Amino acid sequence: MFVKEIELNNFRLLENTKLSFSKKITILYGLNGQGKTSFLEAIYLLSHAKSFRTAKTKDLLSWRLGTEQDVALKIGGRIETQDGDKLLSFSLHNGQKVLSINNNNVQRFADFYGQLAIVAITPDDEEIITGQAATRRKFIDQLIASVSPVYIDNLLSYQRAVKNKNALLRSYKSLSLGEQEEFKKQILVWNSSIIEHGLIIAKLRRHYVERLKPHFQRYHNFLIQGEIIEKTEIEYESRFIKEGELLSIKDLEQSFDKYYLREIKLQSSLMGVHRDDLNFVINCGNGDNIARTAASKGQVKTFILALKLACCEIIKEENQNKEPPILLLDDIESELDEQRKASFFTLFSDLSSQIFIATTSKTPFLNGISEALEMNVYQGKITHQNNL
């Protein structure tokens, strides 16, 4: 699987353009603020239909549009797969997303998501290790969603149930004594939906975390080769799981009942897989420590690289043709020492993925990459440096 060409119209600061790519590596050079990351974002949108930079779709529109509202943003891509070429399109019309596959609009997000398999590594990814639990849940959810439409359906249903339950909890103070009995019945309905979909989510999260572990540890060990031993572990925490086993529906119903009065007081759902977390553990010979607070910036970056490369392995395993995902790398060398940079770039020769790299300057490691398509990005204009 690889991106053969991409066409951009009215996207951020990038000029309208159509570009073709080599199968292996494309390196985009340019100073900060010229459009390199925006270009990676455009490819990412063809996979996730969401940006890795902003939740506001209006931020994606070209600043050149000014006050014009009838001009649409469009990103189109031709993707080559073992089953033939595929045309993907992400558009914004009057602020509404329009997604299409082979020129046919798709209504369900789950039908579009992951048609183009992509793994992105960006500076913000350090939040997966050092940030809030919600960021780690988003990470594992995106991985599973990219290989399982069933997971997307259950996640969306779960989120709707939590949203509706929270709205109901906020209404409690305005209810009469007679209405409170009906309130309790409605809460039980939403609890039942949360449990139903939550059990499926917890089961799949546990499954994929277990599958991630060996790949993660293998890549981590490769990246730190020759250094002091750093033992690592990933732990999945969920209130739906006890001693490694999923709780029964009856046990979960009892747990939800215990939170009932507290949820009314706080007007929020306190029990469910939306409270799950991942713990990344590091041991440098001084006992197990949570990487969130104990790891250095270089160790965090190493965790991220190993984690994202492990994701590539999972996506490849799940693909019916065993095609690897496309890698998007933004500012990849920051925070890494010379040894870890060398280890990471050594992996390039073994990776079969198409790779896009955004960087501010040529470095010895990038110069060592042979047969790369090099492009310059300046004030939103992308031009070829060579014709390989």
The answer regarding whether domain 133-318 maps to CATH 1.20.1050.90 reads yes
Return the amino acid letter for 29. Y
What is the tens place of the pLDDT at every residue in 312-362? 999 999 988 889 999 999 988 888 888 888 888 888 777 889 999 999 988
For the record, the structure tokens of 285 come out as 């010979």
Residue 387 binned pLDDT confidence (cut-offs 50, 70, 90): very low
The answer regarding whether domain 1-117+322-388 maps to CATH 3.40.50.410 reads no
Residues 6+ apart with CB under 8 A from 77: 3, 5, 6, 7, 43, 46, 87, 88, 89, 116
What is the tens place of the pLDDT at every residue in 12-70? 999 999 999 977 899 999 999 999 999 999 999 999 999 999 988 888 988 766 545 55
Question: Which pLDDT belongs to residue 71?
Answer: 59
Proportion of the chain above pLDDT 90, given as a percent:
69
For residues 282 and 293, is the Cβ–Cβ distance under 8 A?
no
Residue 220: name the closest of 340, 288, 123, 302 by CA: 302
Average pLDDT over residues 295-307: 93
- Does the fold of domain 133-318 match that of domain 1-117+322-388? no
For the record, the structure tokens of 1 come out as 């699987």
Residue 382: name the closest of 25, 23, 4, 28 by CA: 28
Average pLDDT over residues 95-110: 92
Domain ranges of the chain: 1-117+322-388, 133-318
Question: Which pLDDT belongs to residue 370?
Answer: 73
